[in-house]
């Protein structure tokens, strides 16, 4: 366990090597958040509501998805495909290390860094913009939000890992990831709450895994879901996580059989 803690710590330190790049990455996230923030402020002036959201709920949703996104979607495991293609995977196969846990530890180090900066930035934005935020006080909703976030980050890790495993069969690992990012940006609910969509489309979205990465945890926090809806959501999220885990294990085993350490 200690070695994985060290890997997470090294990932943390590594971020500070490329300080300017990290700062720019954070500035990018602030810009993206500000764009959405001002769009929704302009659409929902104080005292009005739109799609069932008043300004307070909508801004909490936007800032909340920004913070949850910093935690759930920050990742290093996107490099798995390149490692396979370059043959670097061989180094790990020879070491007494679990390759899944290695990348999960790298993700944890990255997430820790991002969540700390995200909290600082949102605090500064809060001090400047003074948005009317919704504060959830029910401990049950807060606990369920944390459970949904935990499932979301495991699911996202498995997604990333799975996309990387394409490297066993093809050098084209970035094209599928590009499509994945486009789908994620729209279907996860980072741009808008998914329930503003027409009911038929939203009911399809509820079956997709993306919904449970950002939209679902924040909706629980906002207290806008019934206990039955939360339970159903967690079950769907859990099912996707288990399914992805099974697929990842299967693809990993199959991939190792065709791995030729090309490039080494």
Q: Rule CB under 8 A: which residues touch another protein?
A: 18, 20-22, 24-25, 27-28, 31-32, 34-35, 38-39, 41-43, 50-51, 170, 172, 174-176, 178-179, 182-183, 185-186, 191-192, 196-198
C-beta of 132: minimal distance to another protein in Å? Answer: 15
CA distance 27 to 74: 15
185 or 224, CB closer to another protein?
Answer: 185
CA distance 13 to 113: 9
CA distance 155 to 246: 12
End-to-end CA distance of the chain: 29
C-beta of 171: minimal distance to another protein in Å? Answer: 8
C-beta of 93: minimal distance to another protein in Å? Answer: 27
140 or 182, CB closer to another protein?
Answer: 182
22 or 99, CB closer to another protein?
Answer: 22
50 or 142, CB closer to another protein?
Answer: 50
C-beta of 242: minimal distance to another protein in Å? Answer: 28
Dihedral angle of Cα 5, 7, 12, 17, to the nearest 10 degrees:
150
C-beta of 249: minimal distance to another protein in Å? Answer: 26
Residue with tokens 């402020």: 41
10 or 179, CB closer to another protein?
Answer: 179
169 or 245, CB closer to another protein?
Answer: 169
29 or 148, CB closer to another protein?
Answer: 29
Angle (nearest 5°) at CA 237 between 253 and 159: 40
Dihedral angle of Cα 117, 150, 92, 177, to the nearest 10 degrees:
-80
CA distance 256 to 261: 10
Mapping DSSP onto H, E and C, the string for 199-264 reads HHHHHHHCCCHHHHCCHHHHHHHCCCCCHHHHHHHHHHHHHHHHHHHHHHHHHHHHHHHHCCCCCC
C-beta of 121: minimal distance to another protein in Å? Answer: 14
C-beta of 88: minimal distance to another protein in Å? Answer: 17
CA distance 41 to 31: 15
């Amino acid at each position: 366990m200690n070695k994985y803690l060290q890997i997470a710590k090294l990932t943390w330190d590594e971020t500070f090597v490329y300080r300017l790049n990290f700062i720019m990455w954070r500035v990018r996230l602030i810009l993206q958040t500000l764009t959405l923030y001002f769009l929704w402020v302009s659409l929902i002036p104080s005292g009005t509501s739109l799609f069932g959201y008043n300004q307070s709920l909508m801004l909490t949703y936007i800032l909340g998805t920004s913070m949850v996104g910093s935690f759930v979607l920050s990742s290093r495991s996107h490099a798995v495909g390149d490692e396979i293609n370059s043959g670097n995977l061989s180094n790990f196969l020879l070491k007494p290390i679990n390759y899944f846990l290695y990348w999960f530890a790298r993700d944890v180090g990255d997430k820790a860094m991002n969540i700390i900066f995200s909290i600082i930035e949102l605090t500064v934005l809060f001090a400047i913009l003074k948005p009317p935020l919704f504060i959830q006080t029910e401990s049950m909703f807060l606990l369920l939000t944390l459970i949904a976030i935990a499932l979301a980050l495991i699911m996202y890790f498995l997604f990333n890992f799975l996309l990387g495993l394409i490297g066993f069969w093809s050098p084209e690992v970035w094209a599928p990831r590009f499509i994945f990012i486009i789908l994620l940006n729209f279907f996860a609910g980072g741009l808008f709450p998914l329930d503003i969509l027409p009911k038929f489309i939203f009911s399809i979205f509820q079956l997709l895994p993306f919904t449970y990465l950002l939209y679902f945890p924040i909706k629980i926090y906002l207290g806008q879901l019934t206990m039955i809806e939360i339970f159903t959501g967690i079950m769907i999220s859990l099912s996707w996580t288990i399914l992805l885990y099974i697929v990842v294990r299967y693809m990993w085993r199959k991939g190792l059989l065709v791995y030729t350490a090309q490039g080494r």
